[in-house]
Amino acid sequence: MSNNEIQSTEVRRDRDRFVAFAFSAADAFVELDDEQKIRYATGAIKTLINMDGGDLVGQNFLDLIVPDDRAMMAAGCEMAVKQGRCGPLRLRLLSGTGDPLRLELRGTYLPINGGGLFLSLNRGVANQGAVTDLMDKEGFADAAHEAIKAARRGDRPAVMTMLDLRGLDDLMARMDESDAADLMTDINANIQARAIAGETAGRFDNDKFGVVHDPDVDIPALEDAIGARALEADPEGEGIKVHSASIALDGDELSDFDDAKALLYTINKFSEERSKFTIKDLQQGYKLMLNETRAKIVTFKNVVASGEFDVYYQPVVELETRDVHHYEALVRLHSGGPEDSPFRFITFAEDAGVIAEFDLAMCARVMRFLESIKKQERELSVAVNLSGRSLESPAFLQKLIQLLGHFTPPRSWLQFEITESSTIHDLEATNAFLKSLRELGHAVCLDDFGSGSSAFQYLNALDVDCVKIDGIYVQEAQASAKGKAFIRSIATLCKDLGIDTVGEMVETDASADFLREVGVRYGQGYLFGKPTKDISGWRPSERVQTVSAQS
């Protein structure tokens, strides 16, 4: 065999191997020209649409798609021509044999044969019913900031569009689970089809979405496509209202890390369920809000860096004996903070993504206080709050471990309360870190424990020493037999798991007696003492003098 024959054989083998690999990843392949007309089709075409590949040549591919999905496909084609790729798009194909067939489509544009879009069609993935993944708020804010930096470099202009799908929650409630999942898949795919690289799209709440896209993307067409798909899916024919606001990310508004956090805060405010910050506000006041948020973040950082806050301590007592078990460390602000109350201060820091800086500052302050207590040859135990958002930051975890490496008092003196656990996405990684804290000797408490399956999900996923029952549930539980049974069930479950319980907002002896009766071991509230700055006179196992809630 000559060298040319050997090379020809190897080329054929490589070709056949490539084709085999391709068909292992998709059911069919279609080539389109620049007018979306089919040039070539191969694979399981007849199985999909009951036509031979050759019979499809010359037809417009959009005509094979369910009408409500054609705008998504057209947007995907446009995106592929501009960026080289599109997808995954999950859409419905007219099968010719009955119900539309759900497919996942990916495309690559190559400038051959005058330019062509090469599509892979896969029904296996699309029929699994999984909803197309969109970014969360943090990921979307990062993507938007990257788009801004690209615009500043002159790489490409970009636009951020926020979408408010009013009535979507009610519509989903009217649908069965399978149809609702299909609808969300299609809505997400419609939005994702307009995104830069098919990636810069996010879902912030049940009905709030965002997409970073090229300036010439037709957003009214996106609104129409989503509205039409929702109307088609609605068993009562009501549909939803789609509103949008688009903002040019021209690179002039944001410049650095703090400004990216300001963008995240803006997105958080937009996505809040009860927020008064609407689409109209976003369109009219976006720049103003960014500037105000930027200023707040600078002020926040100054407060943290200069230590312009005090730590107050509120006792947590054993209900049976009224002995103080430990204190919770709470922040009190000096004048000039970015918000007018500790609660708003913390909420702002969490929404703006800068809470980790404050959590570290609080830990350092409390640790210094406990070091001074050790020098006085006294004992004291204090719990410091750690936000779930902080625990999601590898940099925060590393810095906290470094801080703890210099802590010389007994480890049991420093406890941690995990707040905002609903913001924890990687429960497994967070639990591994909490285990390391407990192995060092620090007790860990899960704060704001309430009703709902999610609370028990966190209890199941996170190994903790204590659960703090939200004060709202404690107060409401005293008014009904059902509420009492609910609190008792939490206390019983935790006891069986070897976990202590704390009831919050204990303001009367009746509340304390109620909690003790249902099995809660510890209590915290104005009955036992308001937060105070000076606890220098405290001694171990000191019994508190109960005070009036009105004092």
Which tokens belong to 397? 């975890």
What architecture is the 137-297 domain classified under in CATH?
2-Layer Sandwich (3.30)
103 vs 121: CA distance, rounded Å: 6
70 vs 91: CA distance, rounded Å: 9
396 vs 350: CA distance, rounded Å: 14
Which tokens belong to 32? 């389109």
Q: Are 342 and 374 in contact (CB under 8 A)?
A: no
Give the three-class secondary structure for 463.
coil
Q: For position 499, what pLDDT does the model report?
A: 96
Chain position carrying tokens 């759900």: 102
The CATH topology of domain 3-126 is Beta-Lactamase (3.30.450)
Positions in the chain whose pLDDT score sits under 70: 1-25, 96-98, 113, 124-133, 151-152, 154-156, 197-198, 250-260, 271-287, 289, 335-340, 451-453, 537-551
Which tokens belong to 213? 């896209």
- Listed residue (429, 430, 411) closest to 419, CA to CA: 430
Which tokens belong to 515? 């909690």
Q: How many CA atoms lie within 13 A of 179 on its CB side?
A: 13
- Written in H, E and C, the secondary structure of 481-536 is HHHHHHHHHHHHHHHHCCCEEEECCCCCHHHHHHHHHHCCCEECCCCCCCCECCCC
Q: Are 238 and 167 in contact (CB under 8 A)?
A: yes
**Domain spans of the chain, in order of start:** 3-126, 137-297, 308-523
Helix%, strand%, coil% for the chain, nearest 5: 50, 20, 30
- Listed residue (469, 533, 473, 458) closest to 503, CA to CA: 469
Q: Are 196 and 147 in contact (CB under 8 A)?
A: yes
Number of helices (H), then strands (E), in the chain: 20, 17
Q: For position 126, what pLDDT does the model report?
A: 44
61 vs 73: CA distance, rounded Å: 9
Q: Are 213 and 161 in contact (CB under 8 A)?
A: yes
Can you list the alpha helix ranges (DSSP code H) found in 272-393?
279-306, 342-351, 355-375, 388-391
**Do the bridges between strand 500-503 and strand 466-469 make them parallel or antiparallel, or are there none, so unpaired?**
parallel
| 382 backbone dihedrals φ, ψ, rounded to 5° | -130, 140
Q: Are 359 and 387 in contact (CB under 8 A)?
A: yes
239 vs 234: CA distance, rounded Å: 6
Q: For position 22, what pLDDT does the model report?
A: 46
Which tokens belong to 250? 């021209």
Q: How many CA atoms lie within 13 A of 239 on its CB side?
A: 12
137-297 matches 308-523 in fold: no
- Written in H, E and C, the secondary structure of 103-168 is EEEEEEEECCCCCEEEEEEEHHHHCCCCCCCCECHHHHHHHHHHHHHHHHHCCCCCEEEEEEEECH
Give the three-class secondary structure for 28.
strand
* CB neighbourhood size of 259 (10 A): 18
Give 416's strand partners. Answer: 384, 444
Q: For position 550, what pLDDT does the model report?
A: 38
Give the three-class secondary structure for 320.
coil
Q: Are 229 and 183 in contact (CB under 8 A)?
A: yes
525 vs 511: CA distance, rounded Å: 10
192 vs 90: CA distance, rounded Å: 10
37 vs 225: CA distance, rounded Å: 22
What architecture is the 308-523 domain classified under in CATH?
Alpha-Beta Barrel (3.20)
